[in-house]
Amino acid sequence: MDTKKTYTVSIYTENNIGLLNRISAIFQRRHINIESLNISKSEIKSVSRFTLLVKVTEDQIKKIIGQIEKQVEVIKAYYHLDEETIYQESCLFKLSADLLIDNDEIQQIINNNTTKVINIQKDFFVLEKSGNKEDIEKLYHTLEKHGIMQFVRSGRIAITKDKMEISTILASYNN
């Protein structure tokens, strides 16, 4: 009855060893696959930010957020739909250096400003692209026929449109 949707989960935490294990265990226990995961610093000093992507129902995500927030070292967790966030992924392609010479399609891709050559060697060059998953998939299919030597895509990173009041929560602790 409740349909599955892609949710971006943002978790503000203390920066402690073992917390990743604790958080991933919450998903594992419920047999939920984490589609992507990124951990970085946040806008607040000494506070880490987890960004992860899951496909679940709204009922499931609410319960999961409850379980995440229950962890002692989690300050606050949020969930958002795609339209509530501005999000990006980044990817790198390692391609043969031969493609740089006399290949119109590759030249067009490089010149249309949505990709960037970040490294050129004698045998290969590295193409970088940021965007949403669909754009990256499209590029992947285009490049596939030319031969991809290596490919890697990052986890999603996302900024939410609404406020995240972590500073307020931490300020209320200090008072």
Partner 1 sequence: METNTQTKEKKVAKEIQAISGAEAVVKSLIAEGVDLIYGYPGGAIMPVYDEFYKFQDKIQHVLTRHEQGATHAAQGYARATGKVGVAIATSGPGATNLITGIADAQIDSTPLVCITGQVASHLLGSDAFQETDIVGISTPVTKWNYQITKASEIPTIIAKAFYIAKSGRPGPVLIDITKDAQFEMLDFKYKKCTSIRSYFPVPKVDFNKVKDAANLINNAKKPMIVFGQGVIIGEAETEFKNFIEKANIPSASTLLGLSALETEHPLHFGMVGMHGNYAPNMLTNECDVLIAIGMRFDDRVTGDLSRYATQAKVIHFEIDPAEIDKNVKTDVAVLGDVKETLAQILPLIDKNNHQQWIQKFKDLYQIEYDKIIQKDLSPTKEGLTMGEVIHQINNVTKGDAIVVTDVGQHQMIASRYAKFNKTRSNITSGGLGTMGFGLPAALGAKMGKPEKEVIAIMGDGGLQMNIQEMGTVFQTQSAVKMVILNNEFLGMVRQWQELFFDRRYASTVMTNPDFITIAKGYHFKTKLVTKREELADAVAEMLASKESYFLEVRVEKEGNVFPMIPTGASVSEIRLD
Residues forming contacts to partner 1 in the complex (CB under 8 A) are: 13-14, 17-18, 21-22, 25, 29, 62-63, 66-67, 69-70, 72-75, 170, 173-174
**Residues 121, 97 contacting (CB under 8 angstroms):** yes
Give the list of residues 6+ apart from residue 92 with CB closer than 8 angstroms, or none: 118, 126, 127, 128, 150, 151, 152
Q: Which is nearer to partner 1, 56 or 91 (CB)?
A: 56
38, 41, 44, 48 alpha-carbon torsion, rounded to 10°: 60
How far apart CA 54 and CA 34 sit, in angstroms, is: 5
Nearer Cβ to partner 1, position 25 or 97?
Answer: 25
Q: Which CB sits closer to partner 1, 67 or 160? A: 67
Side chain identity at 131, as an amino acid letter?
G
| Residue 170 token pair | 């931490």
> CB 38 → partner 1: shortest distance, Å?
20
CB closer to partner 1 out of 11 and 91:
11
- Minimum separation from the CB atom of position 17 to partner 1 (A): 8
Instruction: Write down the least CB distance from residue 140 to partner 1, Å.
Output: 35
Q: How far is CA 81 from the centre of its chain?
A: 14
Q: Over the range 90-117, which residues count as b (16 or more CB within 10 Å of their CB) and which as e? A: ebebbbeeebeeeeeebeebbeeeebee
Q: What distance, in Å, lies between the first and last C-alpha atoms of the chain?
A: 45
Residue 75 beta carbon to partner 1: minimum distance, rounded to whole angstroms: 4
CB of 25 to partner 1, least distance (A): 5
Q: Which is nearer to partner 1, 34 or 110 (CB)?
A: 34
